């Protein structure tokens, strides 16, 4: 179950870059944002993976590693 809804990347949230599930990127949309747990266990560094979905299927678009970021969780229950 993916609970991350939005990631804000940067020191100052007002000037930061944000990606959220459902955001349009060209002809595609952000499908999911996940914490790369294998990377965390192996290197002790948090890395987030941003996936896009479109006609071509699901593809990795961005990795966010070792930078200040704010995570917003989806609290639909």
Quick check: 49 and 60 in contact, CB under 8 A?
yes
| Alpha-carbon gap, residue 61 to 45, rounded angstroms | 19
Q: What is the pLDDT of residue 1?
A: 52
Q: How many other C-beta atoms lie within 10 A of the C-beta of residue 59? A: 11
The residue ranges of every structural domain in the chain are: 4-73
DSSP-assigned letters across all residues of 10-76:
SSSGGGSEEEETT-EETTEEEEEEEE-HHHHHHHS--EEEEEEEETTEEEEEEEEESS-EEEEE---
Task: Give me the pLDDT at residue 13, please.
Answer: 82
Task: Please give the chain's pLDDT, 77 residues, in tens.
Answer: 568 999 999 988 888 999 999 999 999 999 999 999 999 999 999 999 999 999 989 999 999 999 999 999 987 76
In the prediction, which pLDDT does 3 show? Answer: 87
pLDDT (0 to 100) of residue 75? 79
């Amino acid at each position: 179950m993916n609970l991350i809804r939005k990631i804000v990347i940067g020191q100052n949230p007002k000037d930061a870059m944000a990606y959220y599930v459902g955001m349009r990127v060209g002809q595609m949309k952000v499908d999911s944002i996940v914490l790369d747990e294998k990377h965390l266990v192996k290197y002790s560094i948090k890395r987030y993976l941003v996936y896009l979905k479109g006609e071509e299927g699901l593809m990795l678009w961005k990795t966010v590693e070792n930078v200040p970021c704010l995570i917003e969780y989806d609290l639909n229950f």
